[in-house]
């Protein structure tokens, strides 16, 4: 017997997408008037977003959701409000859609990266248990999208590495130094925010996203510049992190160190090429300088030969006198 989710997967999801789009438009307009993102959306919008998120967990429904524009609707709602219930559904739905290879690129093109990064960087989130679930799903969605090589440049532009680090600091992951150990968190323990259900999952997913971002040397360099290395070292030595989070942090550090080697090798190769080009140009100038005097000398010799010939030739006879 088919489950209720499977039966719903055969139903047209366009009305659910329409409700989310209309809710996002209304929330955006209301937020523009108030000067801040709205904290609550209608129950119908919440339920529609949750329905899309539930359907996105089933592979047979994802294609229909993609064709109906569900990813864009969820991304728009993410960007337009700060309703914890709606955002939890939006982040969950985007994370599920982004883990499907055929749809992840479409999710990245909907503006989801900017919306999810802004949620990670929002310092007002994380005060309630519902927000922790939202942030865990948000970091998970970014981790899935970071596997797309084409999406990493947009993540750099959207400030995703810095947003992930901000999220990690909010949950107690500070900076590691050899002298003082952990800074910003007591004795390697997670901060007060991690005491809420799922706090460790938030940090773990953020480390996972950072690891996937670091698979590209360019984005790895951006993450290093944002201060990722001390935070990841702090996560590795934290006493109360699960193995998966520690493994992702270590993987991110390994990818960053490999990116540094790759960048150094590329820089050295470029320097060698520049030196070779400079040497070739100098050699060409030397050859040109050698050829030019030879040309001048040949011209001078030809002129001397012409003068000698003119001297050797007898002068023309004087003109005959006019007749008497």
User: What is the model's pLDDT at position 240?
Assistant: 72
User: What is the model's pLDDT at position 271?
Assistant: 59
User: What is the model's pLDDT at position 5?
Assistant: 54
User: What is the model's pLDDT at position 184?
Assistant: 36
User: What is the model's pLDDT at position 47?
Assistant: 97
> Is pTM beyond 0.75 here?
no
User: What is the model's pLDDT at position 132?
Assistant: 84
User: What is the model's pLDDT at position 183?
Assistant: 37
Q: Provide the 10 A C-beta neighbour count for residue 78.
A: 29
User: What is the model's pLDDT at position 8?
Assistant: 53
User: What is the model's pLDDT at position 301?
Assistant: 67
DSSP 11-25: S--HHHHHHHHHHHH
Rounded Cα gap, residues 201 and 245, in angstroms: 8
Domain positions in the chain are: 161-288
Place of tokens 């093109």: 109
Contact residues for 266 (Cβ-Cβ < 8 A; gap 6+)? none
User: What is the model's pLDDT at position 254?
Assistant: 92
Joined together, the tokens standing for residue 139 give 């970091």
Contact 155, 117 (CB under 8 A): yes
Rounded Cα gap, residues 210 and 125, in angstroms: 20
Consecutive 10-residue averages of pLDDT for the chain (324 residues): 53 91 96 91 97 92 92 95 92 91 88 92 65 88 92 92 90 62 36 49 91 90 90 84 87 85 50 70 68 56 67 57 58
User: What is the model's pLDDT at position 314?
Assistant: 56
User: What is the model's pLDDT at position 195?
Assistant: 38
Contact 189, 161 (CB under 8 A): no
CA atoms within 13 A on the CB side of 243: 0
User: What is the model's pLDDT at position 100?
Assistant: 83
């Amino acid at each position: 017997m088919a489950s209720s989710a499977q039966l719903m997967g055969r139903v047209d999801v366009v009305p659910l997408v329409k409700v989310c789009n209309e809710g996002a438009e209304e929330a955006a307009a209301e937020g523009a008037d108030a000067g801040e993102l709205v904290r609550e959306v209608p129950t119908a919008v919440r339920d529609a977003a949750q329905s899309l998120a539930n359907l996105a967990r089933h592979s047979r429904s994802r294609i229909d959701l993609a064709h109906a524009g569900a990813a864009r609707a969820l991304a728009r709602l993410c960007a337009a409000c700060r309703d914890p219930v709606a955002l939890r559904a939006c982040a969950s739905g985007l994370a599920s859609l982004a883990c499907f290879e055929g749809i992840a690129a479409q999710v990245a093109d909907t503006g989801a990266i900017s919306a999810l990064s802004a949620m990670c960087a929002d310092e007002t989130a994380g005060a309630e248990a519902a927000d922790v679930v939202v942030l865990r799903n948000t970091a998970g969605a970014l981790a899935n999208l970071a596997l797309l090589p084409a999406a990493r440049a947009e993540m750099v532009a959207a400030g995703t590495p810095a947003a992930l680090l901000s999220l990690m600091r909010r949950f107690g992951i500070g900076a590691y130094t050899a002298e003082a150990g952990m800074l910003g968190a007591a004795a390697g323990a997670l901060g007060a925010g991690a005491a809420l259900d799922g706090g460790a999952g938030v940090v773990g997913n953020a480390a996972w996203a950072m690891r996937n971002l670091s698979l590209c040397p360019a984005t790895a360099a951006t993450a290093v510049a944002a201060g990722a290395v001390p935070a990841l070292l702090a996560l590795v030595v934290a006493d109360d992190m699960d193995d998966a989070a520690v493994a992702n942090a270590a993987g991110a550090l390994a990818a960053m160190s490999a990116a540094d080697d790759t960048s150094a090798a590329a820089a050295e190769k470029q320097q060698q090429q520049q030196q070779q080009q400079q040497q070739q140009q100098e050699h060409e100038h030397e050859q040109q300088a050698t050829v030019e005097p030879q040309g001048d000398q040949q011209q001078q010799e030809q002129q001397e030969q012409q003068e000698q010939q003119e001297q050797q030739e007898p002068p023309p006879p004087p003109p005959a006198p006019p007749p008497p």
